[in-house]
Structure 1
C-alpha cells in the first residue's frame, strides 16, 4: 500500500499552536523582518499558555531560521534570506492568496527542477496491482468531482495524487519537497477559480502520467509530468504579465 506522511511540526499543545500561528504571522508579514517581537507576556495572554511553552515555540521558530534571540534586545524576526525556505512548515505558512508573484514564480521554478526526477524514480519502482489501483481511484474520483462541479474536492484529490508520488519515490530528500508542489498547485487553483470559476486541471495528462508510471516507462512519465509543471508555470507567468499590464 502506498504511504502518505505529514512532515509538518505537530500542531497539538500550546507550544505547537504558537509555532504555527506565529509562524504564519511572520511568513505573511504581520511581523516584518528585523522587527522585535512583543514581550512574552503578550503571547502568554494571546495563547493562554505558560512562559515555558512560549519559549519552546520560539526555539522551534529559531531553528527554522525565522527568529533570533538577542541578548538584552529581545527576540527579533530574522531577515528572509536566513529562513529555511524549503522547510515544510515555512512553506505551509505561505498563503496562496497573498503570496507575491516573485515568490510563487521561484517556487514554481523549483518544482519544475525536482518533481520530474521524483516521477522518474517512482516509475522505476515495481508497484503492486493494489498500489496502481489506489492511484487510479484517485483519478477517477477527480474526474467525477469535475463532472459534478465539486472543484475544491477535486483539488484535494489532486494534491493527494502528487503527495503519494513524492512520498513513494524512494528518495527521502525529495519526499520533503511535497510542500513546494502543494503551494504551486494551491496558487494555480485559487487563481483559476477567482478568474474563471473553473479549475485548470487537465485529466487527460493525469491519466497519461499514471499509465506511463504503471508501465515503468520512466522517460514518458517524466515527459508527462513536465507537461503538467510547464502548464502550471506558464499559468503563473501569464497572470504575472496580466497584472503588470494592468498596473502599467
Structure 2
C-alpha cells in the first residue's frame, strides 16, 4: 500500500534530528511542501495540514511554519485565510519561472503539456537572443558557446549537460540582461525535455550539427541566420513534444 502525501512530507529524520535554526527549518519545510504540491501529491484546491500538525511533525515553531507558508505564498502556490488555514492555489497563479518551482517541476513526473509550454516560451526568446548574440559577437561569449558545442561530442551524460549549457550560454551571449535572466528557466526546461525528445528520436544525445549551425551563424555575425536556425531547432522539439502528447 502506497504512502499518502502527508507521510511523504514528514521525514522521520527531521523529527528525530530537528534543525535548530528556524530560518533553515522554514526553508526545508517550504521545499517539502512545494515539491509535494508541484508533484500533485497535494492537489490543487486541497488544504494543507494545519499549522499545529506541521509544527508537531517537523518539530518546528509556529513562526517557522508561518514563514514557510509565506514563502510558498510568494511563489503563488498557496493562499492562507484566517481560521481556514492554507490551501493550494490553481496552477494559473503559480510563479512558473521561479527557480524553486522550476526545480520542483523538474523533479516531478513528466508532464508533456508543461514541456510543450516551456518549449513554446523558448521559441519566443531564443531566436531573438541568437540574433542579438550574432550582432554582438562577444569573444568570451562565443568561446563559452564553442566549449559547450565541443563537449556535446562526449558521452551521453556529458552531452546532456553540454546541450543545456549551449542554450544557456546563447542567452547570455545576447548581452540582454532579460534574456540572460531566463538561463535558469531554459536549463530546467531542457533537463526535462531533452531526455523525452531524444527518446522520441531514438538517439542517445543531441544533434550536434543542428547546434553547430546556430553557433557558426552567431560567430559569423549573421543575425538572420542565427535566428532562423535557432527557431528551426526549437520547432523540432515542439513537434516531437506535440506528437508525444497525442
Match of 1:93, SS state, is helix
Equivalent residue number for residue 28 of structure 2: 17
Instruction: Tell me the number of residue pairs that the alignment of Structure 1 and Structure 2 aligns.
Output: 224
TM-score (norm 1): 0.79
| Preserved contact between residue 145 and residue 170 of structure 2 (Cα < 8 Å) | no
Larger RCO, structure (CA 8 Å, separation 6 or more): 1
Asked if 1:34 is matched to 2:45, the reply is yes
| Preserved contact between residue 135 and residue 161 of structure 1 (Cα < 8 Å) | yes
Q: Which structure's CA Rg is the greater one?
A: 2
The match for 2:105 among 91, 94, 113 is: 94
Please give the per-residue CA displacement for 1:154-183, whole angstroms capped at 9, x wherever unaligned. Answer: 111111121122234233333333344334
Please give the per-residue CA displacement for 1:122-172, whole angstroms capped at 9, x wherever unaligned. Answer: 2222412x44233212211211x1xxxx21221111111211222342333
- CA gap of 1:194–1:131, structure 2 versus 1, over 3 A, is closer
Asked if 1:190 is matched to 2:195, the reply is yes
Equivalent residue number for residue 51 of structure 1: 62
Asked if 1:211 is matched to 2:216, the reply is yes
Deviation at 1:114, TM superposition (A): 1.5
| Preserved contact between residue 156 and residue 205 of structure 2 (Cα < 8 Å) | no
Q: In 2, distance between residues paired with 1:175 and 1:45?
A: 42
TM-score (norm 2): 0.80
Q: In 1, distance between residues paired with 2:194 and 2:232?
A: 17
Please give the root-mean-square deviation of Cα atoms over the aligned residues, in Å. 2.5
Q: In 1, distance between residues paired with 2:205 and 2:239?
A: 12
The match for 1:65 among 68, 72, 76 is: 76
Equivalent residue number for residue 3 of structure 1: none
Bigger Cα displacement from structure 2, 187-196 vs 26-35: 187-196
Asked if 1:235 is matched to 2:240, the reply is yes
- CA gap of 1:51–1:33, structure 2 versus 1, over 3 A, is same
Equivalent residue number for residue 148 of structure 2: 138
Bigger Cα displacement from structure 2, 179-188 vs 58-67: 179-188
